[in-house]
Amino acid sequence: MPFVFEPFKLYLQSLLYLNTDTPSSTKAISTTLKMETSSSFVSKTPTTLIEDREEEAKHIIKKHHFTPSRLLSYQTLSQLATFLPPEVVFSRLRKLYVAAESGFSMRSMESKVFKWNAPTIVLVSGIRVGKKPNKRYDRFKDTFPRFHPSSTEATNSFDNENDDSSKITFGIYIKQAWKITNGQNFGNDKGMIFQLEARQNLFKGSKSVNVPHYCYFSTAGGGLGFGSAPPRINANGSKVYSPGIVSLTIDQSMEFCVFRHLGLGGSYEPGSIHLSHSEIPEYEDRFAITDLEVWGCGTDKELAEQAKNWEWEHREAQARQKLNMMNWEDGKALLEMAGLVGRSGDSGGSV
């Protein structure tokens, strides 16, 4: 009779995205769950059990000083834990850049993110562009290539207009540190593009592509993108986009985003929910960005290395601050000791 509840136990574990092989905090939740699958389990309703587990997860996350944002809530964390390591998601996230707080600006994002040398998670959300006239979108639309199926026989049954919600949320998991890449790309096949709303879908980095275009961050006016080569900027300032087969593109002003899905052969694989189909659908999502965030994450080793870098930068900043606070005589004496300037009274010049 006790084994009757075993499938329900596994269901609860999947709801909470528990990994019994992970150490520390996540294992503590799993242990508690196992204890309650005995006689006390029968006395609790499914709703009560789920609420209990959510509260325990929140308690563990709060111990690591996590504060939810507009895009990263407790529910989003649980969703991320279905395809990212739970110990990273629940205890090692650091807020780096939130556009709603720091401004929708490439320069602001660069100043907040580029000193982080561990993996990052980018979240971007918005509302699908409708058919109503929009001058700002029209200007972007004129520069971005129109979507065309690869052939007249291509499957285009994945109609996003049938979604219940017009809100879209995508994300990117990047294993390498960010770089300015106006003419080339960075990143590797360990990263992925993923969709959280209106449905969950994973687009993993491809290992078989000959010339990979995983990520770019263009300060020359090309914005940022994943799965495409950086846009070419002409002498007159116009942009020439070359969206990849499976790609996510964010314009320079961080106003619009385009996700394109044309099947196999790109730097990212087709969506995980499509791979089991005999024919992979071809489609495109375009949306006006409402929120964009970047969160730092990584293993203990990566975070320890990051902490050392920040500590070194802090010491350097303090040293520069002390030097700036010196009066001229103190600063001059220091430079004389270093031999960078001549002492007063010494004759200058050369014979």
Q: Are 70 and 100 in contact (CB under 8 A)?
A: yes
Angle between helices 24-36 and 46-63 in degrees, nearest 10: 160
Q: What is the pLDDT along the chain (351 residues), one digit of tens a residue?
A: 444 444 344 334 444 444 434 444 444 434 433 443 444 444 555 455 445 545 555 555 555 567 899 999 988 988 998 998 877 787 678 899 999 999 999 999 999 999 888 889 999 999 998 777 788 898 898 899 998 877 665 555 445 444 545 899 999 999 889 999 988 899 999 999 999 998 899 999 998 888 899 999 999 989 999 999 999 989 888 889 999 999 999 999 999 999 999 988 899 999 988 877 667 888 999 999 999 999 998 666 666 666 676 666 667 666 666 666 656 566 667 677 767 666 555 555 544
Among 103, 112, 106, 57, residue whose Cα is nearest residue 79: 57
Among 163, 206, 194, 167, residue whose Cα is nearest residue 273: 194
- The first and second tokens of residue 187, run together, are 């990143």
DSSP calls for 299-349? -HHHHHHHHHHHHHHHHHHHHHHHHHHS-HHHHHHHHHHTTSSPPTT---S
Tell me the β-bridge partners of 261.
246, 283
The C-alpha atoms of residue 93 and residue 112 are separated, in whole angstroms, by 15
Going by DSSP bridges, is the β-strand pair 120-128/167-174 parallel, antiparallel, or unpaired?
Answer: antiparallel
For the chain, give percent helix, strand, coil, nearest 5. Answer: 35, 20, 45
Q: Where are the beta strands (DSSP E) in 148-187?
A: 167-174
Burial 40-68 (b: 16+ CB within 10 A, else e): ebeeeeeeebeebbeebbeebbeeeebee
The C-alpha atoms of residue 265 and residue 113 are separated, in whole angstroms, by 30
Among 106, 110, 126, residue whose Cα is nearest residue 178: 110
How many CB atoms lie under 10 A from the CB of residue 268?
A: 28
Q: What are phi and psi of 346, to 5 degrees?
A: -75, 140
* Residue recorded with tokens 């504060």: 67
